[in-house]
Amino acid sequence: MPNVCINGLSIEGPEADLSECLEAIREGDIPLSFQKVQPPPTDVDADLWRSNKWGTDREGWDFAVKRSPGRVDMGFATSWSPPEGVILHLSRRFFSLAFTLEWEQPEPPETGTLVCRNGVVVLRETT
């Protein structure tokens, strides 16, 4: 069983762009489908590709979502590590939005923050 990484994602920006983003990343009951954001190719080792591109080898789970004007906050779990690649990929697609990912993982103990805007990592801190 993998270690669980607890993630908090905030997306902020113009309401119309935020709504477009939320629609683009939703897959059924999953508010943030990594597979929909960045689908893996069919001709490679999927786990390895996802780990390299997404930052984690599986989709997120246990989502909690809070929406307010111009902002959405999501809490969710991932296996082993945060989905930094997914968030950077989203920021390249939705330039008007700011993405802030904060995470905590127990083993090895680490907390971190990733801020992406306009397809660029503005801040990446780990402790």
pLDDT tens figures, 33-73:
999 999 999 999 999 999 999 999 999 999 999 999 999 99
CA atoms within 13 A on the CB side of 126: 8
The pLDDT, as a whole number, for residue 1 is 61
The pLDDT, as a whole number, for residue 81 is 94
Q: Which helix (H) or strand (E) holds 115?
A: strand 110-117
**CATH code where residue 69 lies:** 3.30.70.1270
Residues 99 and 84: their CA atoms lie apart, in Å, by 10
Q: What is the mean pLDDT of residues 27-36?
A: 97
For the chain, the domain total comes to 1
pLDDT tens figures, 9-26:
999 999 999 999 999 999
List helix spans (H) across the chain.
15-25, 34-37, 46-53, 84-93
Domain span holding position 88? 4-126
